[in-house]
Structure 1
């Protein structure tokens, strides 16, 4: 926020007090942000240059980076709220909003106006359209594959029972499908998601699995 000039200050004492209180509040909030960022920077330095016993786990390193980005975004948002665009010089920010790959499926919805009949009595026709895209996500869905193998017997003789053989499983007698095992492995080794956290995700869906069980897959 730009510094106020003496000519911009109100003459009313109550207004001056309110302005001073608001300024002190902003300074305190910014100091809190500064203290938080300084602590995170210190953690980074210790992780990079500290002794072996002080080095930070890579996962905690990524979490600290997210904390810094979140704190910086909060500071920018607060500055924007306190200093509206009309009161400061326009300066474009370099932001990366990401891009939506072409291979992702598109679910289109068309929002038509409530009335297309013109006041003259004629029907309006389409001359163009505005299109926008948003990224949506479908949470992981668990399902149970039930395999039934009917048994057939002859009512006229006793030549035995016929039944299809059980399909081969990746883990003999095990509960997971091949897709489930692949998901656990990719989550652990590619996404660095520990088994205990995966067990917590399963637990939220009512599926109780021990970490040792996941490790055996």
Structure 2
């Protein structure tokens, strides 16, 4: 706020300051009106989403929910998902391009988080000497990861089972059997040391 002592004595300068102040006020009014309109659209979308949630609850837990055919329930869910997708598309279109977050989605499919500490254990066959007398060399390995929970600590145990084959003959591939804990987890295992013909 300007004091009377800070105002210039020149009438033209005072008029210019007054016009600039009115322009700033008009810009603020336009911004406020735009935000009010944006809030009204958001409130309307929230109301529509709340109605969709109520419709879902009615379909899932209503009086006739147990009598409904499962296929009909799936159709109702598809309709709800479609309506929600429309609302979300409207919401995304309403956000100005400069305010959109361009960060890619963090997708973790098939692997445990990298920040967890890992304890590696290698399970070797009992002997690395082939039946023909030659030495076995590593040709690959099976790697499995599982989440191990210690109270107040998470860690990943990586189990490696190298596969060995002899260069002198074609007897097959030798690999140590999987530990019992991997068998219980449903991972592919061999009952004994595998001799797979190549």
Normalised to the residue count of structure 2, the TM-score between the two structures is: 0.36
Structure with bigger strand share is: 2
Higher RCO, 1 vs 2 (CA within 8 Å, ≥6 residues apart): 2
Which protein shows a greater Rg? Answer: 2
